[in-house]
Amino acid sequence: MTNVLKAKQTTLMDRVVVSGVGVHSGKPVEMVLHPADANTGITFVRVDKEKGTEVEFAGNYSSVLDTRLCTIIGHPEKGMIATIEHLMAALVGYGVDNVMVEVDADEVPVMDGSSRAYIDAIDQVGLKEQNAPRRYIRVLKPVRVQNNDSVGELLPHEGTRFDVTIDFECDAIGVQTFDHEMSPEIFKQEVSLARTFGFMSDVEKLWAAGYALGSSLENSVVIDAEQKIVNPDGLRYDDEFVRHKTLDAVGDLALAGAPLLAHYRSFKGGHKLNFNMLEALFADDSNWEWVEADAPIRSATRSGVTHSTPAIQAVMGPETN
């Protein structure tokens, strides 16, 4: 076993407020991160101050509504919260197990397009250990998904490793690979600052369709028609593009409902592929098992379960919406 398996669950020491704008709406968003009890996991609460309503969503893949432009969770009739992937990456990548995320809009604030503002918010209040062992989902055998030329694999691994490759027909990007064991320190130093990126031609189409209204050079790396980076300050990492794709993968796979013990490999991936990987993983109970500290939770503890969601909710707390 690796030392990470001996860790206790964590939550925030205190509530912290993060304010910004939504990348698609361009409207102000206030988000409050609250401490949460052990074994409750990550939950989202959509607060509508005008209607005086609150709707809670589980922070796992069973709540996903869409993955086309970003990862959106919620309920088709009760509401949604979009662009959660950068926040999820910060929480799980930085080792936060239990937190309640309260949002007063239909999307999380984009901040600078990376996860660093959320990391800074966590650092502002600090973390505290809870009197419960951290729980993991261990991948037991290879699971593979292919969507056209996008390919993803989850492989057994005593740790958490991300091996992400992108391939763009663009001189500013080209082929890039990021392959690293993931830890809170590595996530903060090597991944959390990587910003979302896009092509000016695509951004203009999104603006015309009423999306990306909050997108700007303050929160996105933009590439123009001449395949040059528009941002005056350039890149934060030489390979910032693949590091951001890794950030997205960390956030999307966090929707498993617990940290994964696995080696994740992806080629030309995105939100859809990441989500499909979780669907494939949990489609067969023989693909995975629970691990708590040094002792795995054997399959007998989930007898009769034919789908992952009830098992995840039994540990992380039931969905209340």
Cα separations in angstroms, 93 against 250, 262, 264, 314? 7, 14, 14, 23
**The pLDDT value given to residue 294:** 58
pLDDT, block means (10 residues), the chain with 321 residues: 66 98 90 97 93 91 93 92 97 97 96 97 97 95 97 96 97 97 97 95 79 84 93 96 98 97 97 98 98 54 29 27 31
**The pLDDT value given to residue 301:** 32
Sheet holding 79-81, edge to edge: 64-66, 72-75, 79-81
User: Is 14 assigned a ligand-binding role in the annotation?
Assistant: no
Q: Annotated catalytic residue: which of 24, 180, 271, 307?
A: 271
**The pLDDT value given to residue 50:** 81
Distance between CA atoms of 319 and 39, rounded to whole angstroms?
13
**Is 180 an active-site residue?**
no
**The pLDDT value given to residue 53:** 86
Q: What is the DSSP letter of 82?
A: B
Residue 222: phi and psi, rounded to 5, are -115, 135
Q: Which residues contact 185 (CB under 8 A, 6 or more apart)?
A: none
| Residue 247 CA, distance from chain mean position | 7
3-class state of residue 19 by DSSP: strand
**The pLDDT value given to residue 288:** 98
* All domains of the chain in start order, with CATH: 3-316 (3.30.1700.10)
User: Is 75 assigned a ligand-binding role in the annotation?
Assistant: no
Q: What is the pTM of this model?
A: 0.88
Q: Which helix (H) or strand (E) segment is 194 a member of?
A: none
**The pLDDT value given to residue 316:** 25
User: Is 180 assigned a ligand-binding role in the annotation?
Assistant: no
Query: Alpha-carbon torsion 109, 114, 115, 117, what sign?
Result: negative
**The pLDDT value given to residue 300:** 29
